[in-house]
Amino acid sequence: MVFPSETVQRSVDFNVTHSVSINGLWSIPGPKMGIAKAALGGWQLGGIVKLNSGVSTTPIIGDDPLGLGNNGADQFGLLNKVPGCDPIIHGYAGSAPGAPNWINASCYTLPTVPTASLASLPYPCVDFPNAPAAAPAGQTYCANLAGTVSRNSLYGPRLFNLDFSVLKNIPITRISETFSVQFRAEMFNVTNHDNFVPPQPGSGDGNSALYGSDGALNGNGTFRDLPQNRGRFSSPSSSFGSLKLVNVLYGCPLEPQAGSRVLSRN
């Protein structure tokens, strides 16, 4: 089977088109002498902010409707894109509590061909027996036909993460001119912002399979709860077309830490 180049020659699965990480450390001006220096001097504020445009994904038909013998990582059950339809549900509008939908399933339909052209096809079309609706007038469902959706044509949601730290440096001059003790409090993801990866095909969570190989809709869509977030979100059985909380690579919920260390400069 030959796929059109505009369908398959797209970005890799792990591509992040735009990414930025900014960090800074500010030494707060303070008194230079006496007790005031000990109490108010040596304070520092630090921060790291990370932003990116998100990773790519492909809305697909689950399993192996084209009969290629491949229902694993690289699935080719491509859907048809509805022209002019926004494929993203911005703000997760209409989602159930604790179950944010991100892909707008109504923007994708099962592949069809003009009924008048059936006799000229080099192969017979395989039907979708459980399609949610009849094929449009003058069209016939064709499960063994690749749709118009391009591989990795969707990006997002965007990532935002802010880490914040407060440091206090205490010189111990009785030991050495360069010896000091540092106390620090750090807060990872200080805004407690939830970061999501989009629904993925077989190479990820399988949630981007909007339809089954029989043409049935796979569900309203909810994300799966990861172990570090267990109990924060519901985890219904239906999860197609929906979001999943990112793993530790993308960040975790708000996590405060405190500690101390000894510093000695040569």
For 17-64, the pLDDT digits (tens) are 899 999 999 999 988 777 777 788 889 999 999 999 988 888 888 877
Statement: residue 260 has pLDDT above 80: no
Pick the more confident residue, 237 or 3. 3
> What is residue 35's three-state secondary structure?
helix
**Which of 182, 135, 193 shows the shortest CA–CA distance to 160?**
193
Paired sense of beta strands 60-61 and 209-211, if any: parallel
Statement: residue 130 has pLDDT above 80: yes
> What is residue 70's three-state secondary structure?
coil
Please indicate, yes or no, whether the overall pTM of this predicted structure exceeds 0.85.
Answer: no
Statement: residue 175 has pLDDT above 70: yes
pLDDT of amino acid 237: 39
pLDDT of amino acid 21: 96
Pick the more confident residue, 252 or 221. 252
Beta strands in 7-103 (DSSP E): 19-27, 43-52, 56-57, 60-61, 80-81
Which whole-number Å values give the CA distances from 97 to 73, 82, 100, 157, 201, in the listed order? 30, 28, 7, 18, 24
Q: What pLDDT band is residue 137 in, cutting at 50, 70 and 90? A: very high
Residue 169 phi/psi, 5° resolution?
-100, 125
